[in-house]
C-alpha cells in the first residue's frame, strides 16, 4: 500500500492527512473513511477490521491501518485447535459443513434478533438445537473451507423479523460490525 502511494508521489500528502485525522479523532470527529476513500476502496470497500493471527505486524503498519480507518488486531498463537467460545447464550441453529466458503461452521441464535456465526472450524463441539451459555466452548478453530490459514471467521447478523432459521440467516439477516458490540 505505502509503496504504491510513494510511486504516485503522494507520501507527504497521505502522511499529513494521517496527522490531521488523528487530531480530529481526539475531538471525536472521524473523517478517515472519507479522506482515505481511494485507499480503502483499493483494499476492499467493506474492509473494517484486519486480524493477524501469525507473526507480529510492525508498529508502523498497525498505525498506518488505524490512521486510515481500519482496525488492526493481532492475535498471537491461533492454531487449528484453539478453543472457540459462544459470544452470548443462545440456541445452535446451524452446525454443518460448507464446501466452498465457511468450511465447518456454527450459527447461534441469541433470541434477540442477533445471530453469530463461527467459521473455518476444525471441530464442532455442539449440535443443532443445543442451548449454549455465554463463554461455553463450542468448537476448535481450524482451516476448513475457503480458508488460507488457521483462523476464526466470526460474523454478527441481525434479523429484524421472521424465524431465526438457516434460510433467514443467509438471505434476510443484516451483517453487523462485531466491533459495535465491544
* Model confidence pLDDT, tens digit, residues 50-64: 766 666 677 788 888
As given in the structure block, the three cell numbers for residue 168 are 433467514
pLDDT single digits (tens) 1-10: 667 778 888 8
**What percentage of the chain has pLDDT greater than the value 70?**
90
Task: Tell me how far apart the alpha carbons of residues 144 and 76 are, in angstroms, rounded to a whole number.
Answer: 20
The alpha carbon of 29 is separated from its chain's Cα centroid by a whole number of angstroms, namely 24
Task: Kindly calculate the radius of gyration of the chain based on its CA atoms and give it in whole angstroms.
Answer: 19
Summarised one tens digit per residue, pLDDT across range 82-132 is 889 999 999 999 999 988 789 999 999 998 889 999 999 999 999 999 999
Whole-structure pTM value: 0.59
Amino acid at each position: 500500500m505505502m509503496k504504491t502511494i510513494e510511486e504516485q508521489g503522494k507520501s507527504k500528502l497521505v502522511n499529513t492527512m494521517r496527522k490531521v485525522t488523528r487530531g480530529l479523532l481526539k475531538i471525536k470527529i472521524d473523517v478517515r473513511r472519507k479522506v482515505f476513500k481511494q485507499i480503502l476502496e483499493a483494499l476492499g470497500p467493506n474492509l473494517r477490521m484486519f486480524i493477524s493471527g501469525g507473526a507480529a505486524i510492525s508498529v508502523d503498519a498497525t498505525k498506518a491501518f488505524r490512521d486510515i480507518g481500519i482496525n488492526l488486531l493481532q492475535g498471537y498463537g491461533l492454531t487449528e485447535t484453539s478453543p472457540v467460545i459462544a459470544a452470548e447464550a443462545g440456541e445452535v441453529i446451524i452446525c454443518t459443513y460448507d464446501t466452498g466458503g465457511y468450511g465447518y461452521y456454527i450459527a447461534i441464535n441469541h433470541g434477540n434478533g442477533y445471530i453469530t456465526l463461527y467459521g473455518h472450524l476444525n471441530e464442532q463441539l455442539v449440535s443443532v438445537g443445543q442451548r449454549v451459555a455465554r463463554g461455553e466452548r463450542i468448537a476448535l478453530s481450524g482451516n476448513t473451507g475457503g480458508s488460507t490459514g488457521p483462523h476464526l471467521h466470526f460474523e454478527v447478523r441481525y434479523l429484524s423479523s421472521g424465524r431465526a432459521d438457516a434460510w433467514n440467516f443467509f438471505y434476510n439477516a443484516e451483517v453487523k460490525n462485531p466491533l459495535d458490540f465491544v
